[in-house]
């Protein structure tokens, strides 16, 4: 593995929502398909426990079709970030 990076699923879901990608998918569905891509293509693993998102659960945009209030943390080779964002753009 190249240089590892730790990122939360909330960052990728936020990207999707801001780019209007995966609008037909719930937050849970997005989280699952993002995790599967990281696991299958980037050799990623889940690390630690779910963490509260910075925007908090009281934010207006936290919902099943918006942003999560907690997020799974992943560790993977950061060289895969461009390919991951390319994948997110296809959702």
Per-residue pLDDT of the chain (91 residues; tens, 9 = 90+): 689 999 999 999 999 999 999 999 999 999 999 999 999 999 999 998 888 888 766 677 777 888 888 899 999 999 999 999 999 999 9
How far is 42 from 65, CA to CA, in rounded Å? 26
Q: What is the pTM of this model?
A: 0.88
User: How many C-alpha atoms does 67 have within 13 Å on its Cβ side?
Assistant: 20
Q: What is the pLDDT of residue 54?
A: 81
Q: What is the pLDDT of residue 57?
A: 65
């Amino acid at each position: 593995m190249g240089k590892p990076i730790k990122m939360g699923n909330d960052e990728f879901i936020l990207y999707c929502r801001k780019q209007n990608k995966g609008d037909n998918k719930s937050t849970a569905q997005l989280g699952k398909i993002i995790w599967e891509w990281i696991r299958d293509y980037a050799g990623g693993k889940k690390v630690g426990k779910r963490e509260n998102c910075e925007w908090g659960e009281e934010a207006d945009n936290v919902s099943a079709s918006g942003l999560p209030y907690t997020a799974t943390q992943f560790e993977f080779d950061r060289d895969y970030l461009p390919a991951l964002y390319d994948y997110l753009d296809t959702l």
